[in-house]
């Protein structure tokens, strides 16, 4: 069952994400929706994963960070504390070729401090669209 409160995102792997927010209020807790199910290998904790991602603060129009905009995917260890908890807990278990939309509350993101220089407040929920390109 789809969470009606999750943002609407174009379900096209590799396409620059467009995000439409259904309401001003983000859903409670960590939420993930698989928009496209890939048929590649499954991502496991401890893998090095390569992704394209697009991150926005809930309700905002522009991204605070987007590898799509840089045309440069990012690679990092997943499930091992190299990235925010919201990523470590949602990316493993999905297949290469999948597009995810993840809603990440502060306790799974940057906490009560936020990242002021990126325009992320301490109470902000983050939304990431994540295309899983490869894993090893």
DSSP state of 7: P
> Has residue 1 been placed in a domain?
no
Domain that holds residue 122: 8-135
79 assigned to some structural domain: yes
- Give the pLDDT confidence of 64-108 residue by residue, as tens digits: 999 999 999 999 999 999 999 999 999 999 999 999 999 999 999
Max CA pair span of the chain: 38
The stretch 106-113 carries a mean pLDDT of 97
CA separation, residue 105 to residues 26, 85, 102, 120, 121 (Å): 8, 10, 10, 12, 11
| Residue 18's pLDDT band (cuts 50, 70, 90) | very high
Residue 120 lies in a domain: yes
Looking at the structure of the chain, the number of domains it has is 1
Q: Taking the CA atoms of the chain, what radius of gyration do you get in angstroms?
A: 14
Q: What is the mean pLDDT of residues 45-69?
A: 97
Identify the CATH number of the domain in which residue 46 sits.
3.10.50.40
**For the whole model, what pTM was predicted?**
0.96
Per-residue DSSP letters for 71-85? T--EEEESSSSSS-H
């Amino acid at each position: 069952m789809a969470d009606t409160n999750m943002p609407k995102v174009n379900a096209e792997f590799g396409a620059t994400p467009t995000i439409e927010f259904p309401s001003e209020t983000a859903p409670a807790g960590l939420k993930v929706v698989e928009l496209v199910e890939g048929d590649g290998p499954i991502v496991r904790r401890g893998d090095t994963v390569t992704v394209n991602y697009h991150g926005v603060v809930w309700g905002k129009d522009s991204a605070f960070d987007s590898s799509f905009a840089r045309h440069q995917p990012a690679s990092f260890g997943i499930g091992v504390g190299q990235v925010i908890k919201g990523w470590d807990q949602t990316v493993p278990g999905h297949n290469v070729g999948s597009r995810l939309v993840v809603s990440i509350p502060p306790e799974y993101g940057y906490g009560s401090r936020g990242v002021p220089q990126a325009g992320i407040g301490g109470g902000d929920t983050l939304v990431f669209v994540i295309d899983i390109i490869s894993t090893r």
